[in-house]
Amino acid sequence: MINFVAWLFMLQLIPGPVQTQPGTTPNIKHIVVGRCFTYTTLINSSLSYDCEEIWRHFEEAVIHHPTCNVKVQHYHKMFNAMEEFWPCDRFLFWSKTRTLMHSYAAVFRHFWTLENTLVGFMFNELIWCGQEEESGFDFDSCPEWSACGDHPVFSLWRQASQKFAEMACGNITVLLNGSIADAFNRKR
């Protein structure tokens, strides 16, 4: 019995070719579409979006491409189906200050962060990737962001950040952590 346990332990130490994280968030379609309806019904009811169409464009972007080759442009149809515009002087950009940003935004409620946009609300804290061999999402494991250049989650957030920056106008607030030694390291 001890040899079997030792063998299992040693098996865990063997490095794999690509670092992985948990797979696609279970029930991702229900979560994303549900968040879309919540956003358009309760948070910003002045907007009208086809949540199912947004989901279809998202799904096409992810499952029809190799996991490490989901480029920003693969999400263009989805972003075109969910154009948003916000008033000037309300944009809050942040990096590596998530807890502080949430506290700050809770006190000064007039600020808008990427998480306040439809795409930010829908995809916040979710993980997703397609399967390499078959069509569909991989619910077992997804590569780490640092493992591939065009990671499906990273590409979506890169496009979302670009759209958010393009919307920004007037006075813009930026919240950064000035005490980080290697502040601009993508792997952190």
Residue 9 domain flag:
no
- For the chain, residues with pLDDT lower than 70 are 1-20, 183-188
Query: Out of 88, 129, 142, 148, which one is annotated catalytic?
Result: 88
Backbone CA torsion sign across 115, 182, 162, 104 = positive
d(CA 40, CA 56) in angstroms, rounded, equals 17
Return the pLDDT at 55: 99
Residue 184 domain flag:
no
d(CA 121, CA 115) in angstroms, rounded, equals 5
pLDDT (tens digit, 9 = 90+) per residue, 37-55? 999 999 988 889 999 999 9
The three state secondary structure string of 53-121 is: HHHHHHHHHHHCCCCCECCHHHHHHHHHCCCCCCCCCCEEEEECCHHHHHHHHHHCCCCECHHHCHHHH
Domain ranges, residue 50: 16-85+115-167
Return the pLDDT at 37: 97
Return the pLDDT at 13: 33
* Bridge partners, residue 94, by sequence: 175
148 is catalytic: no
Residue 90 domain flag:
no
129 is catalytic: no
Return the pLDDT at 15: 38
Q: How many domains does the chain have?
A: 1
Return the pLDDT at 187: 61
User: Letter for the amino acid at 63?
Assistant: I
Strands 141-143 and 20-22: antiparallel
> pTM for the complete prediction?
0.81
Residue 157 domain flag:
yes
Return the pLDDT at 184: 63
Return the pLDDT at 76: 97
CA dihedral 61, 92, 166, 143 (to 10 degrees): -20
Contact partners, residue 15, CB within 8 Å, separation at least 6: none
CATH number at residue 160: 1.20.82.10
User: Letter for the amino acid at 112?
Assistant: W
Residue 185 domain flag:
no
Residue 56 domain flag:
yes
Give the distance, in angstroms, between the CA of residue 74 and the centroid of all CA atoms in the same chain.
Answer: 14
Residue 107 domain flag:
no
Return the pLDDT at 20: 58
